[in-house]
Amino acid sequence: MNMSKKYAIGIDLGGTNLRVALVSDEGEIVRKIKKPSTDQVISEMLEAIHEISCKDIAGIGLGVAGLIDRKNRGVFVSPNLRAIERIDIANEIQGRFNVPVFIENDANAAALGEKIGGAGRGFEHFVMLTLGTGIGGGIVYKGKLLEVSAEIGHMSINAEAEKCPCGNIGCLENYASARAMITRAINMLEKGSESLLKDCCKGNIYKLTPEDIYKAALDGDSLSRDILKEAGKYLGVGLANIINIMSPEAIILTGGLIGAWNIYVQEAIKEASRRAFRDLFDAVKIIPSSLGDNAGIVGAASLVFADASSSVSQYSQ
């Protein structure tokens, strides 16, 4: 890799949005394109790369919402981006733009982004959780991203429960994600529960968002408060498991749900404090991300600048 090249393209290919940015080797975002992820996301991504690229970019880093096939530099499974599954995506991009291309899971890339330029800067060993529609994870150890699946949202916390679309049973994601909260709210409203939520979205409860639930909770709605607290409790079960297994210095939380920090995350911290080994819990800081939605693109770009020997690239010059 030519180290005189100071810019890379970072891509965050999530189930909801596509973000493509030109990022400096210091993690500074120079230009950024954001679009909703559609069925044409691959061609839209290629266009965006063209549009945003400059001369002498050092490479392209791609963070994808899905299970990464590290050996073949592709994506095994991506429930919300079927178009990207089992195709030769990294080599395809590499062929077109003739620069090294690196691929990672989106939550892993976000963890790396927080390490480079966010809330993870002061820590050598932390776990990042992305709390949105689903739950993703990324682990930084000794200052570097662990190149593992880190599918923390698909850790079973209730061995005998409902099946998750991933194939596992009782996954953390089914209890503590935005989707879990919305599902529970709709179920309860359908059963006739009294709640301010009935008046949200012009009465169309199928359009409820986690923000609606949080707002209603702040307005004193007890159903909303219960839903946030229950999801938070289960998040706490997941946090305790992470603490007991990984003994991190910090857990960094990001994603839309951290807007409900005061109820949802506070409940999670309380539950984790009850469950995790006391000494490990006392040693961990549970904090919000500082890069927010930009963590993924910064982290993806930084894959390019990282030591090529410790990354997934097989590019040779």
For residues 80 and 15, is the Cβ–Cβ distance under 8 A? yes
> Is residue 3 at the binding interface for its own copies, with CB under 8 A as the rule?
no
Under rule CB under 8 A, residue 225 binds its own copies: no
Distance CA 140, CA 66 (A): 18
Residue 268: name the closest of 162, 157, 110, 104 by CA. 157
Residues 153-212 touching its own copies, rule: CB under 8 A, are 154-160, 166-169, 175
Residue 7 or residue 123: which is nearer to its own copies going by CB? Answer: 123
The single residue listed with the structure tokens 């993870």 is 120
Identify which range of 50-58, 95-103, 150-158, 257-265 contacts its own copies by CB under 8 A: 150-158
Nearer to its own copies, 84 or 301 (CB): 84
Q: Is 152 in the site for its own copies (CB under 8 A)?
A: yes
Residue 23 vs 152, nearer CB to its own copies: 152
d(CA 313, CA 304): 9
- Cα within 13 Å of Cα(102), Cβ side: 29
Least Å from the CB of residue 232 to its own copies: 13
Q: How many Å apart are CA 263 and CA 278, to the nearest integer?
A: 23
Sketch the per residue contact string, 237 through 266, with its own copies: x for CB under 8 A, - otherwise.
x--xx-xxxxxx------------------
CA 22 to CA 197: how far, in whole Å?
A: 41
Q: Does 314 bind its own copies (CB under 8 A)?
A: no
Residues 113-132, interacting with its own copies (CB under 8 A)? 125
Q: How far apart are CA 131 and CA 198, in angstroms?
A: 25
46 lines the binding site for its own copies (CB under 8 A): no
Q: Of 227, 253, 72, 62, which Cα lies nearest the Cα of 153?
A: 253
* Residue whose CB is less far from its own copies, 156 or 266: 156
Token pair of 66 as six digits: 């899905």
CA Rg, the chain, in Å? 20
Task: Candidates 106, 151, 212, 267: give the one binding its own copies (CB under 8 A).
Answer: 151
Closer residue to its own copies (CB): 218 or 280: 280
Q: How many residues bind its own copies (CB under 8 A)?
A: 42
CA distance 104 to 298: 12
Minimum distance, C-beta of residue 90 to its own copies, in the bound complex (Å): 17
* Interacting residue ranges for its own copies, rule: CB under 8 A: 67, 69, 76-77, 125, 137, 141, 146, 148-152, 154-160, 166-169, 175, 234, 237, 240-241, 243-248, 274-280
